[in-house]
Amino acid sequence: MDRIKNMFRSGVAKHVGLLSAALLSAVYTVQTVHPKLPEMTAVDAVLARDVAQSAPDSGWDLPNLDNPRVDSWVKLFSTDPKVKSRFAVWLDRKDTYEPMISAKLEKRDMPQDLIYLAMIESGFNPKAKSPAKAGGLWQFISETGKRYGLTVNKKVDERNVPAKATDAALAYLSELHDRFGSWYLAAAAYNTGENRVARIMRQVTGSEKGSDEDYYRISSLRPRETQDYVPMMIAAARISKEPARYGFDDPDAGMGE
């Protein structure tokens, strides 16, 4: 946790959602409760590609790539009592914001599963704030919010207006996808900054544009929090699509949060 705090003090966490309020809490938990997540390797990426090509999942419009890190997050979200209780609250809030986000995704012809990016960013709390001063449902810092049309000043903060923040976030994600050619890489850039992802992609693959499998190929060169970002998103999606399978059929699961 000290390392994370030092990141904020040094100004490294300056991009959108580098560690949101929801993500910071989950990362802190996984580092203290489960400090040794499996490392992602080139073999993992190949296996993920083969699984995605041989057995596409119905009900998904983002690739549901198998990876040990995804499995670890699924286990943490669904078995650790404190984390499971928090995730249950996220599921409850999802019902409030899903219709609006889904309609905006459909209008832009973007994957519906991007809703789970908002889930891991803020836990669907429109007033969430991170130590990096990111705010709202999609955890914009003020600079990036303004860049995508949000008013952010002492009197008005449209990062906390769900519909407007969603428009801004989807515009940003769409641009990132156009640049990198992959929703996984777009999510990584949303988390850690597009220039960093572009630099690493050029270093590893020779091109900024790539595939979802490249997210795992460049994993070791990204910050730890970004290594876990897409695995967290896919884990959240897996549970949300089949909550009863993972023990979230208890109506009192989120009580007390």
Provide the annotated active-site residues.
121
Tokens of 101: 């986000």
Q: Looking at this protein, which amino acid is placed at residue 88?
A: A
Q: How far apart, in Å, are the Cα atoms of 54 and each of 49, 50, 65, 66, 227?
A: 9, 6, 11, 12, 25
Q: Return d(Cα 235, Cα 113) in angstroms, integer.
A: 12
To 10 degrees, the CA torsion angle through 80, 47, 182, 108? -60
| Closest among 72, 176, 75 to 117, alpha carbons compared | 176
Tokens 């959108």 sit at which residue? 16
SS3 call for 157: strand
